Amino acid sequence: PTMSMVCLSDFELFAKEHLPKTTWDYYAAGADECCTRDDNLVAYKRIRLRPRMLRDVSVTDTRTTIQGMEINFPIGIAPTAFHCLAWHDGEMSTARAAEAMNTCYIASTYSTCSVEEISTAAPNGLQWFQLYVYRNRKLSEQLVQRVEAQGYKAVVLTVDVPYTGKRRNDIRNNFKLPPHLKVKNFDGIFEQVETFQGQVNEKQCMTSPFKQTRAGEYDFNGAEVYGGAVNSLDPSISWKDIYWLQSLTRLPIIIKGILTKEDAELAVEHGVQGIIVSNHGGRQLDGGPASIDALSEIVETVQGRVEVYLDGGIRTGSDVLKALALGAKCVFIGRPVVWGLAYKGEEGVREILQILNDEFRLSMALAGCRNVSEINRNLIQFSKL
Ligand code: HOC
């Protein structure tokens, strides 16, 4: 890593100074008053550790597995949209960085490179695919078929976006993708789906956010704000759709956006293979819990039946250590990855991952842990919480 880049917030500063304001605002956005977005970070700082001494930490090992697949450290890349806003070949660089560092990249449906371009750019990388459910199920079905064919190893179903949260600056900026960028996964799909199904109603999808579309019904999906890109997400999505998704694929299904023990139990009962505790970077419901604060009740409920992961607010190695001590098998980082891209493309993302893992390894050693299986709840000072 470059000398001036010491920690993840150095990349944040760089990105803020160098990205166009509308792009910066989009990535930085939180819903409404950004309470949950900000609490995602602050919540780690309330947690104190109980380090153990004299445990011979001369050799440390950060390797772990997720869904049976080995990765070099328990830090993966969360799905975030529109990487080409930060770097010319966007998600392809992100995928190469994840491959080089041997960790998992969850590619977003709203990528500015297609799922095929991403997997071709990093043919030996571990890629999972983040999926939304659309009013026209055919759109989701086609995506699932494509990622299976490309060798993606899991489908990550995001369940916290029946509507997009209200991000004030995106509305003020009238945020749209610039004309040279596209949500590549849907390139040409409208025509195809129309031909095969005759049921895409593009007009319905392109209504303005916050505009009343029918009596009592608002289109908060923001298709126009977010680039006039695609068909609307389906706000009627419910638990039975897990069975629908299972009927489409043999890939493990990871449910992303769970914040309560009740929903964690339902997720397990519906047969998912993993849970990502997440509040979507605080971009959806403002006032929901910080993801690290929601983790414990979910881990306790799940009791090892499925793997539990977490995203939201991870900025330092000790944040990673705290999340693992509270039961996360792996954490995923979102905004720091686009800061890394903005800094130096693939190299910047590699630096982000390297710095965070170096910090994690150091925190582990200073807490007396030689490997990830030695990280457990005894490390947490619960009396302080
Ligand atoms: C038209 C729907 O995950 C974000 C993205 C999702 C945006 C959905 C756009 O910005 O949080």
Ligand 1 within 6 A of CB of 222? yes
**Interface confidence (ipTM) of the complex:** 0.96
Cα–Cα dist 176/342, whole Å:
18
The string of DSSP codes covering 245-289 is: HHHH--S-EEEEEE-SHHHHHHHHHTT-SEEEE--GGGTS-TTSP
For range 47-58, the mean pLDDT: 98
Examine the pLDDT at 199 and tell me if it is beyond 60. Answer: no
Q: Is 227 in the pocket of ligand 1 (CB under 6 A)?
A: no
| Distance from C-alpha of 94 to C-alpha of 177, rounded to nearest angstrom | 19
Average confidence (pLDDT) over 340-349 = 98
Average of per-residue pLDDT across 145-168:
97
User: Is residue 255 within 8 Å of residue 135, measured between CB atoms?
Assistant: no
Q: Specify the pLDDT at position 203.
A: 35
- Using alpha carbons, list the distances in angstroms from residue 76 to 14, 90, 288, 357: 22, 17, 23, 11
**Is residue 207 packed enough to be buried (19+ CB in 10 Å), middle (13-18) or exposed (0-12)?**
middle
pLDDT at 266: 99
Report the residue among 85, 106, 164, 168 best suited for mutation to probe ligand 1: largest number of ligand atoms under 8 A from its CB. Answer: 164
pLDDT band at 2 (very low <50, low <70, confident <90, very high): low
| Percent of the chain clearing pLDDT 70 (strictly above) | 88
At 262, list the tokens: 């009740």
Q: What's the mean per-residue pLDDT of the chain?
A: 91
Q: Is the beta carbon of 280 within 6 A of some atom in ligand 1?
A: yes
High-pLDDT (> 90) share of the chain, %: 85
Average pLDDT over every residue of 88-114: 98
Using the predicted structure, report yes or no on whether residue 217 has a pLDDT greater than 50.
no
Q: Is there an atom of ligand 1 within 6 Å of 221 CB?
A: yes
Q: Are 352 and 336 in contact (CB under 8 A)?
A: yes
pLDDT of amino acid 383: 87
Residue 1 has pLDDT above 60, yes or no: no
CB of 335 sitting under 6 A from ligand 1? no
Mean pLDDT of all residues in 155-169:
97
CA pair distance 104, 70, nearest whole angstrom: 9
pLDDT digits (tens, 9 = 90+) for 284-298: 999 999 999 999 999
Predicted local distance difference test score (pLDDT) of residue 214? 41
* pLDDT grade for 210, boundaries at 50, 70 and 90: very low
Task: Judge whether 257 and 276 are in contact, CB under 8 Å.
Answer: yes
- The arithmetic mean of pLDDT across residues 49-59, rounded, is 98
Mutate to test the pocket of ligand 1, among 110, 130, 186 (most ligand atoms within 8 A of CB): 110
Where does the pLDDT of residue 189 fall: very low under 50, low under 70, confident under 90, or very high at 90 and above?
A: confident
Looking at residue 3, its pLDDT comes to 59
Between CA 55 and CA 69 the distance in angstroms is 28
Instruction: Tell me if 361 sits within 8 A of 60, measured CB to CB.
Output: yes
Catalytically active residues, by annotation: 280
| Cα distance between residue 208 and residue 218, in whole Å | 10
Please tell me the distance from the alpha carbon of residue 130 to that of residue 136, in angstroms, as a whole number. Answer: 17
Strand segments (E) across 86-234 = 104-107, 126-131, 155-158, 211-214, 217-219
pLDDT tens profile 238-274: 999 999 999 999 999 999 999 999 999 999 999 999 9
Q: What pTM was computed for the model?
A: 0.93
Judge whether 236 and 244 are in contact, CB under 8 Å: no
For the chain, the first-to-last Cα distance in angstroms comes to 35
Question: Which residues make Cβ contacts (< 8 Å) with residue 86, sequence separation at least 6?
Answer: 15, 19, 23, 27, 338, 339, 341, 342
Rounded CA separation 250/133 (Å)? 17
Considering only CA atoms, give the Rg of the chain: 20
pLDDT digits (tens, 9 = 90+) for 229-248: 444 789 999 999 999 999 99
Residue 188 pLDDT more than 90? no
Q: What is the DSSP letter of 232?
A: P
pLDDT of residue 211: 39
* C-alpha closest to that of 311 among 274, 371, 256: 256
Calpha distance 108→128 (Å, rounded): 9
Please say whether the beta carbons of 153 and 127 come within 8 A.
yes
Please say if the pLDDT value at position 169 is more than 60.
yes
Look up residue 291 and give its two tokens.
């993801």
